[in-house]
Copies of this chain bind each other. A is one copy, B any other.
Amino acid sequence: MRAAFHDDLDAIFTDLTSVCELVSVAVRDATLALLEARNDLAEQVIDKDVEIDDARERIEENALELLSLQSPVAGDLRIVVAALRMISDLERMGDLSVHVAKIARLRTPHPAVPDIARPTIERMAEVAEQMVERTCQILRDRDVSAAQDLVADDDEMDRLRRKSFAELLGQEWTAGVEPAVDVALLGRYYERIADHAVTVANRVVFVVTGETPSGS
């Protein structure tokens, strides 16, 4: 029964990694759609989100089946519950990519992000993408040391968010209200993607070590 439990658990983690990779593509394509004003890519991100939603349902069913059939207790139980939570986080990251894509779609053929805001938003997107990729790696390899780097990335994300606000509220902002609102919401979406990445990574650390990293 213990061996069966661990096989089933491995299968769930493999599935979580696949979903993470779908999310990684969604974040990257949504950003490309945004920065290059590409409607086709925006539509693609929006359309493909259903794959992430479907995968969520499948993984949840598998986790519930595992709980039903194996009735794990103590540490094993917490691992399955952590997996259930990770899939929720990953699904939200997919939804947030859709929000980015929808802003891109709304403004095409024009770029949603004015030049003055572009370097900061570009960097936010890059950091978010990196964090998602790292999260996939952490999930795939149960690499808890990589979770440390993620915290540093998240600090950079916080700084970038403040910088972005300073830009859009500064004297040099001449782009008007609409792009300011877009940029503020985009900042929020990338920040939330980063938050969820940290949460997933911390759950993996918990699964591997039995300890929740401090500050999470």
> Across the interface, do B68 and A77 meet the contact criterion of CB distance under 8 Å?
yes
Q: Which among B67, B78, B168 is the interface contact of A181 at CB below 8 angstroms?
A: B168
Q: Is A44 an interface residue (CB 8 A)?
A: no
| Contact of A188 with B by CB under 8 A | yes
Please state if B180 and A181 are interface contacts (CB–CB under 8 Å): yes
> Is A178 close to B, CB under 8 A?
yes
Q: Which of A14-22, A32-40, A81-89 faces chain B?
A: A81-89
Tally A residues with Cβ within 8 Å of B. 24
For residues 151 through 175 of chain A, which have their beta carbon under 8 Å from a beta carbon of chain B?
Answer: 165, 168-169, 173
Is A185 at the interface (CB under 8 A from chain B)?
yes
Q: A88–B86 Cα gap in the complex (Å)? A: 12
Q: State how many angstroms separate the Cβ of A167 from the closest Cβ of chain B.
A: 11
Taking a contact as CB atoms closer than 8 A, the residue among B71, B88, B169 that contacts A177 in the complex is: B169
CB of A1 closer than 8 Å to a CB of B: no
Tell whether A74 is near chain B: CB-to-CB under 8 Å: yes
Of A84, A177, A184, A185, the most chain B CB neighbours within 10 A belong to A177
A153 to B66 alpha-carbon distance, docked (Å): 37
For the complex, is A3 an interface residue (Cβ under 8 Å from B)?
no
**Least Cβ–Cβ distance between A161 and chain B, in angstroms:** 12
A9 at the interface (CB under 8 A from B): no
A146 at the interface (CB under 8 A from B): no
A64 within 8 A of B: yes
Rounded to whole Å, the gap between the CB of A67 and the closest CB of chain B is 6
Contact A169 B188 (CB under 8 A): no
Within 8 Å of chain B (Cβ to Cβ): is A4? no
Bound-state CA distance A81–B62 (Å) is: 13
